[in-house]
Amino acid sequence: MRIPGLRILAALGFVAIAVAACGNNPSTQQKLSGGTATFAEAPNAKPNYIFPLTSGGFFSVANLSQFQFFMYRPLYWFGQDGKVQLNSSLSLASDPVYTDGGKTVTMKLKGWKWSDGQPITSRDVEFWMNLLKANVAHWAAYAPGEFPDNVTAMSFPDSQTIVFTLDKAYGSLFFTFNELSQITPLPQHVWDKTSDSQAVGDYDRDATQAAAIYKYLDGQSKSIGTYDNNPLWQVVSGPWKLKSMTTDGHVAMVPNKGYSGPVKPTLAEFDEQPYTTDTAEFNVIHSGGVDYGYIPVQDVDQRNSLTKYTFTPWIGWQITYFQINFANATNGALYKQLYMRQAMQHLVDQTSYIKNLFKGFAYPDYGPVPIKPANNFADAFEQSNPYPFDVSAATKLLKDNGWTVNAGGVSTCTNPGTGAGQCGAQIASGQKASFKLEYASGTVVVAQEMQALKTDWSKAGLEVNLSEAPFDTVISDAFGGSTAADMDNWGGGWIFAPDYYPTGDEIFSTGAGSNGGAYSNATNDANTVATTTSNDVAALHTYEDFLAKDLPVIWIPVNDSQLSLVKKTLHGWDPQDALLQFYPENWYFTSS
């Protein structure tokens, strides 16, 4: 028996399902060419420096990953499919080849071109190296003895080949991820001069002239309003060229039609918009005025009501901790005792902070290697939480080492001395477990976290006197030997970029430039050196396991770098890069 009505109904149902399926699948939606995509800059994180040889004041994600890299591509690109790994496809050179037991490295360029049609050659790499060697004091990533000091000789057999001779044998992981990653070929045929009127020459081969070139290019970078019409900045290697820029951080980029990379932009333009506060940005999100933005963590419960947007947390390649000052006159002796650091770490309730303060948008940190995104650098031990939240364990550690614990008050050393069961060297009888912790103001969740920590530590009689200060002040105090506090939390920990292999040689080695707490341990130093010379990731595991146990700092949860909101009509942005770079050349709009 035929039932026409039922057949029509079935057909309509089929069509409806097909339409619905098309609506959810970008591959079946109509891909639009052109359009302008807008990206919201983080509050007060606006780009303001274009020259890739960047000094400390401008060495930021906003300037490098989210501005310079669009125009000036590093020799080796890191970040692929959301993971921290060498991206051979986007690199300007083929994978480096190590010979002579790791003392020589050879790189071959791919023959890509600058935007003016000139080839990118080994001379452009040499230009970078010459500028770097003559101006290391101005380069934020410089650490004495490391790159470029460890390159003892350079040769350029042809226009596409670069050979470095190193001062000793290095592991390929370390040298590629942390040293070669810092090379950015520069357009020597345009920039090799010391003034506007001078003709381009080979001035960089003389150190004095190389310093003058730096001064000239740095000077040209000091006028943001002229970036868009300064001919120097018009020759680029990346997929984008600068269209316009203002001093308050508005950036407009248009495609570099001569880009040689595998993916060419299809957007007509992409813009970065500055925001004074995350509230101002969120107001714009409400009205749909930005394509790629974020939701403040305090408003995250509203995410489901923003139906035009896809919500995706953005996880960065970083660790988070607060620094303890081993050299502090009052409490340095306490910090030098492992049992004390263990007790402190036992009293950090990371699970609770993540759930209640960060609303689930954070993950625990138990050691010096980031555990997210998933990677083979962080081993099982580090991720096992060696010092779980345990007030009893913390109390026992203190009691077993000569302290009279006064829960809710201040514990006191009552058995001084260096023997078993005693407080330890330079800790006098009656010394109180009372500490001063300074943290960065301006972020509600950081203040809440420090208040929670104060409460948790008091459960074993560790008193924390909190003070709040602007980020700059905390940084200044943490690394400037200030006695304003003996613990410092600047709210950011450490981001591993552009030294992507998380060896910690800059932060935990004895005397390292960014080891503000003056932590010093011979075993750690040896382990760290091994991470730089070994080709085996096991060396990194040894290093991280030791520091996860030895606690050079107090580990606290890593919050997601950004809680992204992306318009549902914008595609090609997923997955988000752990190195906080993004790829608008992959983006495109669909009609719905």
Partner 1 sequence: MTGFLVRRLGQSGIVVLGVTIITFVLTRLLPGGVARAILGPRASPIEIADFNHTNGLDLPGWQQYFYYLGQLAHGNLGFSYRLNESVGGLLQDHLPKTIILLGISTLVALAIAVPLGMMQAVRRNRLEDYFFTSLSFALYSMPPFWLALILIVFFSANLNVLPPVGPQGAISTYLDPAQISALVLPVAALALVTIALFSRYMRSSMLDNLVQDYVRTARAKGVSTTGVLYRHVLRNALIPIVTLLGLSLPGIFSGALITEAIFNYPGMGLLFWDSAQTRDYPVLLGVTVVVAVATVVGNLLADVFYAVVDPRVRVAA
Nearer Cβ to partner 1, position 251 or 315?
251
Nearer Cβ to partner 1, position 283 or 384?
283
Q: What is the distance between the alpha carbons of residues 453 and 555, in angstroms, rounded to a whole number?
A: 12
In this chain, which of 22, 475, 529, 537 binds partner 1, going by CB under 8 A? 475
Q: With binding defined as CB under 8 A, does residue 528 bind partner 1?
A: no
> Are 418 and 427 within 8 A, CB to CB?
no
Q: What is the distance between the alpha carbons of residues 569 and 541, in angstroms, rounded to a whole number?
A: 43
Nearer Cβ to partner 1, position 460 or 565?
565
| Whether residue 368 has a cis bond before it, omega within 30° of 0 | no
Q: What is the distance between the alpha carbons of residues 240 and 584, in angstroms, rounded to a whole number?
A: 9
Q: In terms of Cα–Cα distance, which of 175, 60, 144, 511 is closest to 136? A: 144
Q: What is the distance between the alpha carbons of residues 59 and 47, in angstroms, rounded to a whole number?
A: 10
Q: With binding defined as CB under 8 A, does residue 472 bind partner 1?
A: yes
> Are 237 and 558 within 8 A, CB to CB?
no
Return all residues near 589 (Cβ < 8 A) that are at least 6 apart: 31, 32, 35, 37, 267, 569, 570, 571
In this chain, which of 160, 165, 244, 590 binds partner 1, going by CB under 8 A? 244
> Are 545 and 385 within 8 A, CB to CB?
no
Stretch that binds partner 1, among 190-198, 354-362, 452-460, 471-479 (CB under 8 A): 471-479
Q: With binding defined as CB under 8 A, does residue 149 bind partner 1?
A: no
Stretch that binds partner 1, among 79-87, 141-149, 379-387, 388-396 (CB under 8 A): 141-149
Q: With binding defined as CB under 8 A, does residue 513 bind partner 1?
A: yes
> Are 476 and 425 within 8 A, CB to CB?
no
Question: Which pairing describes strands 434-440 and 487-489: parallel, antiparallel, or unpaired?
Answer: parallel
Q: With binding defined as CB under 8 A, does residue 303 bind partner 1?
A: no
Q: With binding defined as CB under 8 A, does residue 470 bind partner 1?
A: yes
Q: With binding defined as CB under 8 A, does residue 230 bind partner 1?
A: no
Size of the site for partner 1 (CB under 8 A): 57
Stretch that binds partner 1, among 136-144, 364-372, 453-461, 524-532 (CB under 8 A): 136-144
Read off the tokens for 233.
């900045």
Q: With binding defined as CB under 8 A, does residue 467 bind partner 1?
A: no
Build a one-symbol-per-residue string for 171-210: x at contacts with partner 1 by CB under 8 A, - elsewhere. ----------------------------------------
- Residue 96 has a CB neighbour count (10 Å cut-off) of 20
Shortest Å distance, C-beta 518 to partner 1:
14
Q: With binding defined as CB under 8 A, does residue 159 bind partner 1?
A: no
Shortest Å distance, C-beta 218 to partner 1:
10
Read off the tokens for 177.
């991820």
Binders of partner 1 among residues 23 to 82 (CB under 8 A) are: 44, 48-49, 55-59
Q: With binding defined as CB under 8 A, does residue 118 bind partner 1?
A: no
Nearer Cβ to partner 1, position 38 or 121?
38
Nearer Cβ to partner 1, position 339 or 439?
439
In this chain, which of 142, 170, 177, 555 binds partner 1, going by CB under 8 A? 142
Q: With binding defined as CB under 8 A, does residue 516 bind partner 1?
A: yes
Q: In terms of Cα–Cα distance, which of 74, 103, 295, 88 is closest to 185? A: 74
In this chain, which of 64, 86, 93, 141 binds partner 1, going by CB under 8 A? 141
- The strand pairing partners of 478, in sequence order, are none
Run of H or E including 344: helix 338-346
Long-range pairs, 474-483, Cβ under 8 A, ≥24 = 474/438, 474/439, 474/440, 477/438, 478/323, 478/438, 478/516, 478/517, 479/514, 479/516, 481/327, 483/328, 483/329
Q: What is the distance between the alpha carbons of residues 542 and 528, in angstroms, rounded to a whole number?
A: 9
Shortest Å distance, C-beta 146 to partner 1:
11
Nearer Cβ to partner 1, position 284 or 338?
284
Q: With binding defined as CB under 8 A, does residue 473 bind partner 1?
A: yes
**What SS3 state is found at 86?**
strand
Q: What is the distance between the alpha carbons of residues 259 and 458, in angstroms, rounded to a whole number?
A: 59
Binders of partner 1 among residues 257 to 276 (CB under 8 A) are: 273-276
Q: With binding defined as CB under 8 A, does residue 506 bind partner 1?
A: yes
Q: What is the distance between the alpha carbons of residues 586 and 592, in angstroms, rounded to a whole number?
A: 18
Q: With binding defined as CB under 8 A, does residue 487 bind partner 1?
A: no
Q: With binding defined as CB under 8 A, does residue 420 bind partner 1?
A: no
Shortest Å distance, C-beta 92 to partner 1:
25
Nearer Cβ to partner 1, position 13 or 56?
56
Q: What is the distance between the alpha carbons of residues 53 and 59, in angstroms, rounded to a whole number?
A: 9
In this chain, which of 322, 490, 519, 587 binds partner 1, going by CB under 8 A? 490
- Footprint of partner 1 on this chain (CB under 8 A)? 44, 48-49, 55-59, 136-138, 140-144, 221-225, 244, 246-248, 250, 273-277, 279-281, 283-284, 286-287, 289, 469-470, 472-473, 475-480, 482, 484, 490, 494, 506, 513-514, 516
